Structure formats: structure tokens, C-alpha cells
Structure 1
Amino acid sequence: MIGGVACDADAETALYSALWHACAGPFVTVPREGELVFYFPQGHIEQVEASENQAVGQQIPNYNLPWKILCRVINVQLKVDPNTDEVFAQVTLLPEPKQDENIVYEPPPPPPRFHVHSFSKILTAADTSTYGGLSLLKKYAEESLPPLVRF
């Protein structure tokens, strides 16, 4: 399948974000900058140990950390592993000075939403032939591709 996309302002960022979210799937949510989240150190420690292939039954070091830490999201980067094409988000957190989970919190305003037009098409033999060319429905071409400029 192929897709055609046309975007409004800040097209490259909007397109990258739309494609990243499409690859991540409909059930993936990523926190936004400024939001408050909880960080669970134990889960992170267990993931690091699993990725380093620690021997089963080996003693997990005690870091004397609380079981959850209230943090503010200060940066989010949507990334793709170049070796596996797996999408992931790199989220930078800053612990809140006051660890009160009952804190009154106002979420940041939603980011501007860019309208991304897209379509998909299953390629046919005619689309892949040397002399053919890609044939699209006029509706999709008009909605998703920039207008042709005549000189």
C-alpha cells in the first residue's frame, strides 16, 4: 500500500507525528510536555536488568527509592529505531519538588492540531509497470496532493 499526504503549517513536523502515531497504533498515548506523570523506578530497574540479560535469581540492588515519583514531563521526542523500524518515545522527566499526589493540577493547553490528509491504495500491476504510472481517484488527488501550478 502507498499513502499520499498533504499538510498545513509546519508540514514536516505534523507529517512525522501523524506517521509515528499511525505506526504506534491507536492504543498508544504519549504524555505532553508540562503534564504531571508518575515514574515507577522498580519497573525501570527490572527492564534494564532484563535488557542486560541478568541471571535469574540474582539479587536486585536496593536503591532506597520511593515506589513512585511524581514528575513533570519536560521533553518528548518521537523516535524510530533505524535497525528494527520500531517506534518509541523518549520522555524526559523532572521530579516535582513537592511529592503530593493530591496536588491541584492544570493540564497544559492542547497543542495546535494540524490537519493531515491521507489516503491508501493497493498497488495494481498497472501501477507498477514501466510505462504505466500511478493511477489515483481524482477525489484523493484533489484532497491530498498540492494543486498543480501552471506557468
Structure 2
Amino acid sequence: MPRKGGVVVYLPQGHLDHLGDAPAHAAPSPAAVPPHVFCRVVDVTLHADASTDEVYAQLSLLPENEEVVRRMREATEDGSGGEDGETVKQRFARMPHMFCKTLTASDTSTHGGFSVPRRAAEDCFPPLDYSQQRPSQELVAKDLHGTEWKFRHIYRGQPRRHLLTTGWSAFVNKKKLVSGDAVLFLRGDDGELRLGVRRAVQLKNGSAFPALYSQCSNLGTLANVAHAVATKSMFQIFYNPRLSQSEFIVPYWKFAKSFSQPFSAGLRFKMRYESEDAAERSTQG
């Protein structure tokens, strides 16, 4: 996610891909917007959709003038402009008390509970008294909207395992969770427990993100963006990097670094990338 005060490159074509089936009148002519725009991040406001709990950001961007871009390009070329990005692993290192689990059919069944990996339970939840025959406790976790959810955390079974029982089915039903969705638990430094959900990628579509797509008739229209770029004035967009394969907000250092890689038609390559669970994966093409 872009940081306030940072410099990014805005890619209009990627934004169009992000909007998907946006009304035709929302898109300006190709000549109205350059292929890429250097911008300063003026503000970042985080939101969560009321119906899906999907998180997204409202970015306020200000096109940079040519002199600033020239100085940044020179700094990059002489090596003084370092990477101001942060990897997924570094972000997870700052949030050690967190786990994410993809829900199974058992986790989402009406009469089942939520099976929690032992290491995740011991790291994220308050400690259980294992001297008891059936160690258990009540957990209270807040979702992204501040709603409190109460769960019974118990350690039982053969072999023994950590389960969330009472209260879990109500949470699944209210959030309309299905197998393949993911649940995240996070314990802050203050000990407060928070939780969120991630919808399965294959279920994503425009209708699931009304706030993102309402921008077509609101402050984020590409027509407004084209005018803002032409007049060097601030514009606002909604941004969810998980919604589209096309990144349209790229850190400046990453954009500049890409020019040092020689690519030619027909070249085969292997690309390494980071997934949301902090694992490093690769693909070939």
C-alpha cells in the first residue's frame, strides 16, 4: 500500500482494467491522459466495505512537476535514490501476532467449529490453562467495523486441537463465509484481538465492491483524473491491489528499476513474486 508522502507512478490503463465494466462515459479518450503519471501521495485513508469486509484505500494524489521528476531520475541513475518499498515479509515482521487461515468445508459447516493451528493459537490468543481437563476460554474480537464477536476457544479432541466453537457459526452466517474464504486474527500490542475476512479470489466481481465502483459517478472518475493531470491538481481514487491483476499504482523506485532490465520480444524469463501469506513464489513465461 502506498505511503503518505511517497512518490508513485499512476498508470491509467491499469486503472481501466481495475474498474472492469465501468460505464464508457467514465473513461476519457486515450489521448487525454499520458501512459504514466508521477504523483506525490498526499493522503491515504483506509476503508472496509460494509457488506463484504473487503479493505481498500482512498488515495489523494498530486501530479509532480517535471523538475521534481528530473531530480528523482538523476538520483536513481547515480544510485543515491534507494528503494523506499517494504516487502511483505518486513510487514509481517512488524505484526508478529497474526495468522491467516483459508477456511475448509468443516470450518464453514453449520454444526462445526473453526480449527486453529496450534502455533497460531498459542501466538495470537491468550494462554490456556493446560492443567485443566478441557482447557477453554472466551475470546472477544473486533471486526473492521468495531463489532465485537465472542467465541469459545477450547482445546480438545483426539489428537487434541484448538477449536473456536460457540459463536463461530453465527460469525460465519453473518459474514456469509464459504469454503475458500480466509479469516485473519491479529493481536495488537495492547492485547486487543481483531479479525477480518478475505473473500476467495474467484468470487470477486464488481457487484461485490459497490464503494469501489461508485467512483464511476463520483470523485474517482477517469475524466476527473484526466483534468487533474492536465492542470497538475490533486485527484482521488479508490485502490484495492487484490482486485485486479493490473497494478496501476507503482512505487517510483520500482518503476525506475524496471528500465534497467533488458527485455525483448520472445524472451523467456522467470519471475519471483510475494504472496499475501509472505511466501515467495515464482512463475515462468
Same fold (TM over 0.5): no
* Alignment TM class, shorter chain as reference: 0.3 to 0.5
How high is the TM-score relative to the length of structure 2?
A: 0.28
Where relative contact order (Cα < 8 A, 6+ residues apart) is larger, the structure is 1
How high is the TM-score relative to the length of structure 1?
A: 0.44
